[in-house]
Chain A
Amino acid sequence: MTSVLKNYSVILPLAALVLAFWFSPDLQEVAAGVAIFLFGILMLQDGFKLLSGGNLERLLGAATRSTPRALAFGLVSSTLVQSSSLVSVLTISFLSAGLISLIGGIGIVFGANLGTTTGAWLVAAFGLRVDIADYAMPMVAFAVVLVFQKARPVRGFGYVLAGAGFLFLGIFYMKDGFEAFRDGLDLSRYAMPGIWGLLVYTALGAAATVILQSSHATMVLVITALAAGQISYENAIALAVGANVGTTVTAMIGAVGANVQGKRLAIAHLVFNLVTAAVALILVSPLTALVDVVARVAGVGAEDYALKLAIFHTIFNTLGVILMLPLTGWLVSFLERRLPETKPDVSRPRHLNAAIDDYPETLESALRQEVSHLYDNAVKLVLHGLNLHRETVVDASDLGAAVRESREPIDLDIGDEYERRVKTLYTAIVDFATRATRHRENAPEVVARIDALRDMAGGLVRSVKSVKHIRKNVLRYTTQETGAATELYDALRTEVARVVVAIRDLDSAAPDERSTLWLDQEAARLAASTRKGERRAGALIRQGELDPSAATSFLNDASYAGAAMHELLAAARAYFAEPDRAAAELEGLLALDEDEIGAAAGRGAPGE
């Protein structure tokens, strides 16, 4: 069904263009203008991606610290990239990845709606008055020289310059195209007065924005058509209102693959634009009167409908923000009530979202959260495989006693659970990390950290696989008292539980207080304990309390459990590694290697 729709979404517009060009060759220039304008938007977006480098996440964090900041960020970013739809879709992706809060996201989307009005000003105040093709041509020519440079910021600036040049060129062709219509087709004959005119043209504006995927492009078309006298001022106002409604469709499509937070934001965007559109249509007479007053004060001519439309566009969007901003808190709690957090499906990736593929640092952050999700799943499975509940382990004051009391067999098909909770996530992580390698040239350090996270995920997978081997004997010896074997397996389970608790303690410590060097201490404790366990097993065999078959099983299983614990410790070492390069170097120098840890464990410690 989706592929059929995708095919139609290509074929239908192409067929419509062929038909339109057949009946009206003059339309070719307008269509080419729209295409060049949209191409300019794409180049602007690429340019800003290159210029922002890996700072996007930090920028977003700082931008959403308060609602006014988020509002300003939305305004500036949509002004720069000339696309509120893009800003909204990216905001939904970042919200889904857990990088910003819902209230911060709403602020950005509201601000983006204000930023979208700058497109109308650009065309009305500048595009129609100056022969902007004169500026566009040298801009594009200079930009091409910059685009072929190696330095990333220079290339980024080149794309921005080229994008702006193509925007201007697109406006020029649209304007020129509509001029050609003057002598042929007169669209103004189809203009409709009254309430029906408002509603029909609002719907047309929304439809045009859905097709063009840009309210900016719709506004530019409307203003150039208005300036060429092809549509009436009243109908242009309705088209502008419709463009605001149409832009929400892109965000709604973007939210389809997002989590519940992303969907909440898409609905907030829809509510904001519908309320703003409804208010604008209801108050259309007082608003146009207000536009006349503002135009008079600003010295705009009474007949300059293009500029008056830009003023209207700004006023009604500002009115929307003024109306909706005090209701943001209510809107958030309404959305949280109506769209409750669904019980997360542990087997599906929660943070990996293809929309952030272009932003290496954001990608790293999302991957980090997904690896943490995998760690939770892996540890739960490791503990269940040993017949232990995570709550029992982390809440225990006496871990050994808590383990000895855990005799109830946990109903678990470890093979199935491994496929469901671990392998699916690991596959998604590997796929995501592989896609990130294309940033190796631009962001080598980030890609190196992403590689480390992927390796860490591999270690977690191996830890679960190790426990899969032990499961049978764990069920045999720990669900009932069998004497010496039960004692040994309980000691093994306690060791794994201690490692899990040590990692939990590291996680709950303040980042400035903790160090991965603590894991060396845990590794030394573990090595000493393992040796003690081996000595105890040997003694039990010699005393005849452990039969050779059980002893062999235990020694094999102890080796698997040891591998699982080492993988968990290695994963924690990678996960909690210092993000600062110098600090990471220092910890690397101070860390003990396996031999040194073994020596520390073997020689015993001085008593106090």
Chain B
Amino acid sequence: MALLDISRLKKTYGNGEIALKGVDVSVEAQEVVALLGLSGSGKSTLLRCVNRLVEPDSGQIVLDGVDITSLNKSSLRNARRNMGMIFQEFNLIDRLTVLENVLAGTLGVTGTLRGIFRAFHGDDIQRALELCERVGIIDHTRKRADQLSGGQRQRVGIARALMQHPKILLVDEPTSALDPKIGREVMDLLKSITKEAHIPMLVSVHDIVLAKNYSDRIVGLQGGEKIFDQPTASVEAEALDQIYHEASSQTAYSSD
């Protein structure tokens, strides 16, 4: 059985927008799966359903034998600790230092009082510094997060996610807010870290080149439906074209 198994996942938003029409995706241990699709194809919704930042309407999500969809609030918090999430807009806390932002990754397992007073455990701080070193921001740990460049900020986001000792990384358009060169650096970093630490990754992208270069398998999404699901090496150009061809006839080619 796969590490992450998503089956028949459906989601319709309150405004009537149908985001997912019953999607199946699975991620094997140590596999990098790219969700490829345009804005509005449902890839972000799919990612957010995995840790239930978005509540799915129906379907099942099983991570390492735990049925995420059936969990109550406190068990969900436990489950979320196993999933590191990385965001398009980094979602750092601007006014806190880089180190504090990385340490925020431990909040799920830190006592409430320690969390409130930011009194983190010594070994967590040690690990946070090691991760800062690994992702290349060790010189900036005392700076406020909003003083960093985009690429550096995403590195802080990566370190924060790794701080959780995640079983899987959920990565939502990690490079869309970055210029192409910095974006590739961030993807290189993500790929090498996931290989080193044997962490699988489910990553959404809208760029075919990124999907091809950095994934083991590509899942194509369009209008909330899965249109292909193949090992990256064997994905045909036609399948990829289909996503973009369809797009040119739609109006949904909007902001990202």
Q: Check if A and B associate.
A: no
Chain A: residues with CB nearer than 8 A to chain B? none
Chain B: residues with CB nearer than 8 A to chain A? none
